[in-house]
Amino acid sequence: MALRTIASRKTLAALGSGLRAQARLATAAAGAYSRGLVTFSLPDLPYDYGALEPAISAEIMQLHHQKHHQTYVTNYNKAVEQLVDAMAKGDAPAVAKLQSAIKFNGGGHINHSLFWQNLTPIHEGGGEPPKGLLGWAIDTDFGSLEALVQKMNAEGAALQGSGWVWLGLDKDFKKLVVETTANQDPLVTKGANLVPLIGIDVWEHAYYLQYKNVKPDYLKNIWKVINWKYASELYEKECP
C-alpha cells in the first residue's frame, strides 16, 4: 500500500483584527497569530497487517495501527488546536499545561510513524542484515551486528514501564548509539543531535497479546522483520 502523506493542510481564517492579538498577561505583548494549522492523519502501513507474521501477529498490528497510533494522531490534532487557541489568546498557563499532551501524543505519532517503516515483511527484505556504510558503522561502533542486537535487546528488556529502545545516529559525532526513551518521548529528547534509525516499541501493547509477559521473546523475534534497507537510507542521508 502506498503511504498516504502524513499531513494535510487545514487553514483557518486569520484573526479578525489582523495584526493585533489581545494579550491576557499584563507584561506580555502577544504577537499576531494567524491560524494556519497543519493537522495530521494516520499513515497507511506499507504492508498488510498479517505480513509480519509470525514475528508480530496480525491482531497486534491491526490494534497497534488502527487503535493506538490513531489515538495519538487524534489527540495530537486536538492538543495542537487547543495550543494554537491558547497562543492566540496569550494564555500562558494553558500553553504550559498543554505541553504534556503535545509531547505524549505528538511523540506517539512520530515514534509510530517511524516504527511502521522500521518493519517490513521477510519477502521484502525484512531481517536482511545491513550492508554498505551502515553495516560497516555497526561493526566499527559495536563490534558486530549480533553485539548490537544483544545490546538493544538487553536495554529493551530492562526498560522499566513503557518506552522505546533506539538505534540512533549522533549526527555531530557521526557515531551510532543505543538509547532508550520513556513513554512516547521521541529520541531527540535524549540529545538534539540524535537521529533515530530504528525504534522498537516496548510498550506492552506492542507484544502482549502474542508474547504475554515474555518481552525478551518479542525482542528476539522482531529482528526477523526489521527493515535495514530503510535504516541504511536514513544513515546515508546523515553520513554520505
Interface residue list for another protein (CB under 8 A): 63, 67-68, 71, 100, 104, 160-163, 182-184, 203-205, 208-209, 212-213
In 3D space, the residue among 126, 121, 107, 114 whose CA is nearest the CA of residue 1 turns out to be 121
Which CB atom, from 69 or from 227, has the smaller least distance to another protein?
69
Query: In the bound complex, what is the minimum distance in angstroms from residue 180's beta carbon to another protein?
Result: 13
- Residues paired with 180 in a beta bridge: 165
Output the furthest CA–CA distance in the chain (Å, rounded): 63
Which CB atom, from 6 or from 101, has the smaller least distance to another protein?
101
Query: In the bound complex, what is the minimum distance in angstroms from residue 40's beta carbon to another protein?
Result: 19
Which CB atom, from 90 or from 163, has the smaller least distance to another protein?
163
Kindly state the cell numbers that stand for 171. 549526527
Query: In the bound complex, what is the minimum distance in angstroms from residue 218's beta carbon to another protein?
Result: 13
| ∠ CA 31-186-99, rounded to 5° | 35
Per DSSP, the three-state class of 165 is: strand
Q: Report whether 92 contacts 26 (CB < 8 A).
A: no
Which CB atom, from 101 or from 178, has the smaller least distance to another protein?
101
Kindly state the cell numbers that stand for 120. 517490513
Query: In the bound complex, what is the minimum distance in angstroms from residue 76's beta carbon to another protein?
Result: 13
